[in-house]
């Protein structure tokens, strides 16, 4: 018990933003005119400012090619903040905006970086000029070029003996296959050490994803059940009822396998199934995730049809509204073979999970938007209640709801009141909002603070990225050789193609619908 109490205390300390020690610094956002900056980055930084979690002093510089005075950019950001964000205290905006600046320049122009350096030096504080976070909210094809210019200008240094630091944050997609990911890693590490590179996956900043570690390793009643002896199967669902909208061009290049499985879903899988780390230090945590991903059985190209299915949504009805097919969306080819749905049957070849099937599905235009992990336990022997209760005698399960309505559900069988022996599955429900009654920080809010604090625990390491690509590449390559078949299409508003059910036929399992979101 003493060890559990110590772990609980350490995890609480790790997960508490208010305890982060942060040095004065400047955050430079490349791609300042993009949606990511307006919708996520500036709102996250503003919330941190309101909580007094940002370092004091701190400066924010937006770097983009369009000429724009500081005042105009601040005005645009405020308008976007009102449009996209909740829980705002606009009385603090003016104080925040006073630390927000703009730098005009082309990404490939050395003079623009000299201009940026002069602007940094103009703050009159050595830490603001040399403690730097470079957030590359730009196309991955520009990562290496911008990093090179930062290095040549002296703004990004691999070594600084005077105690200053620089960090580079890069967004997904990090490569489009294993080979391109390796090449991008090699290019970036020419200009920065691995410890300076923060590959961001916003899923890892979600409160419920972070709570997976606390739930598993600080609760002995669950940890001793978390293995092949007790678990029958695991299902991971990441569903969206939205279509691709205006992102058709991007989605044509990515598809659901690259967009969701290679990063978000494999990260969640690793946290749910990894071994406990020896410490809570970043490298110990990431070591365990990499070990787990390397234990995921590689799908043989000849077995792809048995282990993976894909689908693409047709026209259908969502929330009573007719919606178009994927091929009718803007910037989508009329004969596109891009998958909007992926279903996988994965296996983990290690001591803890040998023989347990892991079912993964993600898709667009599904009946509801919900992300959750369901751990289903082995059923009890059917010798007492099965004859009387039949299908009502359900297996016990724990569901980790990642979004929306974040929480944890425990499902077990209970007797219906009365003189009969009728059984019905019931739930115990832990809800974040009901329990804590407080604003839950957005993922980017947490992750940005981790970068400023120099904590890489929630970021993806080089070998992690490459291992994840090695899992999905054989599937991607097999699908590229064949067009979609009629049975691969599914109507919008349904749970994917009928072929997804075939993944479970050999195990006599079936997909479970996510818990209602309301």
Asked whether residue 235 is assigned to any structural domain, the reply reads yes
Report yes or no on 245 lying in a domain.
Answer: yes
Q: Are residues 20 and 124 in the same domain?
A: yes
pLDDT band of 516, cuts 50, 70, 90 = low
Give the model's confidence band at 505: pLDDT under 50 very low, under 70 low, under 90 confident, else very high. Answer: confident
Which of 117-121, 170-174, 441-445 bottoms out in mean pLDDT, i.e. has the lowest?
441-445
CA distance 321 to 301: 40
- Give pLDDT, residue 283: 92
pLDDT value at position 175?
86
Hunting for tokens 């992750």 — which residue is that? Answer: 447
Average pLDDT over residues 143-170: 90
DSSP string, 366-415: -SS-EEEEEEEEPPPPTTSSHHHHGGGSPPPEEEEEEESS-EEEEEEEEE
* Whether residue 161 is found in the same domain as residue 254: no
**Which of 219, 220, 201 shows the shortest CA–CA distance to 270?**
201
209-219 residue pLDDT tens:
778 888 888 88
- Indicate if the pLDDT at residue 8 is higher than 60: no
Query: Both tokens of residue 370?
Result: 């919900």
C-alpha separations of 196 from 138, 165, 290, 510 in Å: 18, 8, 19, 44
In percent, how much of the chain has pLDDT > 70? 91
For residues 167 and 233, state if they share a domain.
no
Residues 229 and 317 in one domain: yes
Boundary of a domain, candidates 171, 192, 215: 171
**252 exposed, middle or buried (CB, 10 Å; 0-12, 13-18, 19+)?**
middle
Q: How many helices and strands, by DSSP H and E, does the chain display?
A: 20, 17
Residue 7 is predicted with a pLDDT of: 47
Is residue 427, in this structure, part of any structural domain at all? no
Residues 318 and 236 grouped into a single domain: yes
What would the DSSP string read from start to end of 261-326? IIIIIHHHHHHHHPPPPSSSSHHHHHHHHHHHHHHBPPPPGGGHHHHEEEEEEESEEETTEEE--G
422: pLDDT strictly greater than 60 = yes
pLDDT given at position 253: 86
pLDDT digit string, tens, across residues 66-102: 998 999 999 999 999 888 877 677 889 999 999 999 9
Taking residues 424-428, what's their average pLDDT? 73
More reliable by pLDDT, 54 or 319: 54
Residues 194 and 290: their CA atoms lie apart, in Å, by 15
Sign of the alpha-carbon torsion through 150, 156, 158, 161: positive
pLDDT surpasses 60 at 369: yes
What pTM was computed for the model? Answer: 0.87
Residue 186 lies in a domain: no
Q: Which of 171, 194, 225 is the last residue of a domain?
A: 171
446 with 313, same domain: the answer is yes
Residue 41 lies in a domain: yes
> 42-50 and 443-453 helices cross at what angle (nearest 10)?
70
Alpha-carbon dihedral sign for residues 316, 367, 82, 169: negative
Q: Confidence class of residue 284 from pLDDT cuts 50, 70 and 90?
A: very high
Which pLDDT does position 105 carry in this prediction? 92
Q: Is residue 198 part of a domain?
A: no
- CA–CA separation, 123 vs 58, rounded Å? 10
pLDDT beyond 90 at 129: yes
Q: Which of 154, 171, 188 finishes a domain?
A: 171
Average pLDDT, the chain: 87
Instruction: Label residue 393 by pLDDT band (50, 70, 90).
Output: low
Contact of 454 with 55, CB cutoff 8 Å: no
In this structure, are 135 and 84 located in the same domain?
yes
pLDDT of 22 = 86
Which of 13-17, 136-140, 429-433, 462-466 ranks highest by mean pLDDT?
Answer: 462-466
Same structural domain for residues 161 and 221?
no
Rounded to the nearest 10°, the torsion over CA 50, 53, 57, 59 is: -70
Q: How confident is the model at residue 384 (pLDDT cuts 50, 70, 90)?
A: low
Total number of domains in the chain: 2
Q: Read off the pLDDT of residues 27-41 as tens digits, 9 standing for 90 and up.
A: 999 999 888 899 999
Q: How far apart are the first and last CA of the chain?
A: 37
Asked if the structure places residue 136 within a domain, the reply is yes
Q: Is pLDDT at 224 greater than 90 in this prediction? A: no
Instruction: Tell me the C-alpha to C-alpha distance, in Å, between residue 408 and each of 171, 187, 245.
Output: 29, 41, 31
Residues spanned by the domain of 500: 204-375+442-507
CATH number for the domain that contains residue 79: 3.40.50.720
pLDDT of residue 21: 77
What CATH number is given to the structural domain containing 277? 3.30.360.10
Radius of gyration of the chain from its Cα atoms, rounded to whole angstroms: 24
The verdict on 157 and 228 lying in the same domain is no
Q: Are residues 136 and 51 in the same domain?
A: yes
Q: Say how far apart CA 11 and CA 295 lie, in whole Å.
A: 26
d(CA 274, CA 272): 6
pLDDT confidence of residue 156: 94
Is 18's pLDDT higher than 70? no
pLDDT at 389: 61
Residue positions annotated with a catalytic role = 264
Residue 309's nearest CA partner among 109, 90, 478 is 478
Structure tokens at 106: 């082309």
Alpha-carbon distance values, 192 to 26, 115, 134, 147 (Å): 18, 21, 12, 8
Q: Is residue 415 part of a domain?
A: no
Q: Given this model, what pLDDT does residue 300 score? A: 86
Supply the DSSP symbol for 516: P
Kindly state whether residues 210 and 105 are assigned to the same domain: no
Encode pLDDT of 267-278 as tens digits: 999 999 999 999
Are residues 355 and 294 located together in one domain of the fold? yes
Give the residue with greater pLDDT, 198 vs 420.
198
């Amino acid at each position: 018990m003493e060890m559990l109490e110590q772990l609980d205390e350490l995890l609480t300390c790790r997960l508490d933003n208010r305890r982060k020690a942060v040095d004065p610094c400047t955050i430079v956002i490349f791609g300042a005119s993009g949606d990511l900056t307006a919708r996520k980055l500036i709102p996250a930084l503003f919330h941190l400012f309101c909580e007094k979690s940002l370092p004091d002093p701190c400066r924010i510089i937006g770097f983009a090619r369009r000429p724009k005075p500081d005042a105009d950019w601040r005005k645009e950001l405020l308008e976007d903040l009102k449009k996209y964000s909740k829980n705002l205290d606009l009385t603090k905006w003016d104080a925040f905006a006073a630390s927000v600046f703009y730098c005009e320049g082309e990404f490939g122009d050395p003079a623009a970086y000299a201009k940026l350096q002069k602007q940094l030096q103009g703050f009159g504080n050595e830490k603001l000029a040399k403690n730097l976070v470079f957030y590359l909210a730009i196309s991955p094809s520009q990562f290496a070029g911008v990093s090179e210019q930062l290095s040549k200008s002296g703004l990004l240094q691999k070594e600084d003996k005077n105690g200053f630091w620089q960090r580079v944050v890069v967004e997904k997609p990090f490569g489009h296959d294993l080979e391109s990911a390796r090449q991008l890693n090699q290019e970036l590490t020419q200009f920065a050490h691995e410890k300076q590179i923060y590959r961001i996956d916003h899923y890892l900043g979600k409160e419920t994803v972070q709570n997976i570690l606390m739930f598993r390793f600080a609760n002995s009643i669950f940890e001793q059940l978390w293995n092949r002896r007790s678990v029958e199967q695991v299902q991971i669902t990441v569903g969206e009822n939205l279509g691709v909208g205006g992102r058709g061009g991007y989605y044509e290049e990515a598809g659901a396998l690259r967009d969701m499985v290679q990063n978000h879903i494999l990260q969640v899988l690793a946290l749910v199934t990894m071994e406990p780390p020896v410490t809570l230090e970043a490298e110990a945590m990431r070591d365990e995730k990499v070990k787990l991903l390397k234990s995921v059985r590689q799908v043989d190209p000849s077995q792809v049809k048995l282990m993976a299915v894909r689908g693409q949504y047709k026209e259908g009805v969502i929330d009573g509204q007719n919606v178009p097919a994927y091929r009718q969306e803007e910037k989508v080819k009329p004969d596109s073979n891009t998958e909007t749905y992926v279903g996988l049957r994965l296996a983990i070849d290690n001591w803890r999970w040998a023989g347990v099937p892991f079912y993964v599905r993600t898709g667009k235009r599904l009946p509801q938007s919900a992300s959750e992990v369901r751990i289903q336990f082995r059923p009890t022997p059917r010798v007492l209640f099965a004859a009387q209760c039949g299908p009502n005698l359900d297996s016990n399960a724990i569901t980790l709801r990642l979004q929306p309505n974040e929480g944890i559900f425990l499902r077990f069988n209970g007797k219906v009141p009365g003189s009969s022996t009728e059984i019905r599955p019931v739930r115990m429900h832990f809800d974040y909002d009901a329990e804590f009654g407080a604003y839950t920080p957005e993922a980017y809010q947490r992750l940005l603070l981790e970068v400023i604090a120099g904590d890489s625990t929630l970021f993806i390491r080089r070998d992690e990225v490459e291992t994840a690509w090695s899992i999905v590449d054989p599937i991607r390559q097999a699908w590229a050789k064949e067009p979609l078949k009629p049975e691969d299409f599914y109507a919008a508003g349904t749970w994917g193609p009928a072929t997804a059910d075939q993944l479970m036929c050999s195990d006599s399992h079936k997909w479970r619908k996510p818990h209602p979101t309301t």
